[in-house]
Structure 1
């Protein structure tokens, strides 16, 4: 059994903050590839008044809103959806999407394949597909050995 308290992740390698032209958010990575469970699990906070563009070309992501209000734009279709507490969206087609936070958003996210925690969004909002030995088996997770860039 593994127990994690969110406050224990503050200022560790599992506490990722992004402030750039392409986004402004904080992600606390609760479960990563190194745990060897086949997915990663994160809490992501997006501040009110910000717009973030994402595209997970190498991952499937599921997002569940547990607080706040915003808007989700499917950049392929132009459709928009209200983000609010209790709303879930699944990016099962590697959908290019934009999240605009009307109020502070608190989102719970899962990724498959799991992220390692070293990924950095590129200019298109894409995470590279990285690998890492997991803590339980020593087997490599993911499909490539690309290195993340800072």
Structure 2
């Protein structure tokens, strides 16, 4: 059994951040689960341009409000507590935190190693 508390990850390789975001990687590739689980905070006012070319990602919002824009279609979807959005086509997207810090539980497949940060194009390398 694996039991992890996000507070215990501060200052470890399972903590990652970049401009406008911070992530505690709760479950990572080394845990052998076949996916990774992260608790991610996007700071209010932040706008992240992302495209996970090598990963599928599902996000569950549990605090704050924001929006995700599908760059291909221009469609904008409201994100608030209880909302799930999944990037099932390696979708190029823009994530914005509009009302308070946007707090998400994120699941990645294939799993992240834990210390990754976004490349210039908003993606992660395979670990």
Give the alignment's TM-score, normalised by structure 2.
0.96
Unpaired segments of 5 or more residues in structure 2? none
How many Å separate the matches in 2 of 1:81 and 1:100? 10
Two-structure CA RMSD over aligned residues (Å): 0.8
Unpaired segments of 5 or more residues in structure 1? 131-150
Query: How does 1:111-150 map onto structure 2 within 5 Å?
Result: 111-130=108-127
Higher strand share: 2
Deviating runs (4+, > 6 A) in structure 1?
A: none
- Given candidates 49, 62, 81, the residue that maps to 1:85 is 81
Question: Residue 68 of structure 1: SS of its match in structure 2?
Answer: strand
Shift, 1:120, TM fit: 2.8
Q: Deviations over 1:71-111 (max 9, x none)?
A: 11001110000010000001000001111101211000000
Shift, 1:17, TM fit: 1.5
Query: How does 1:1-150 map onto structure 2 within 5 Å?
Result: 1-19=1-19, 24-102=20-98, 103-130=100-127
Q: How many residues align?
A: 126
User: Which has the higher Rg, Structure 1 or Structure 2?
Assistant: 1
How many Å separate the matches in 2 of 1:78 and 1:121? 22
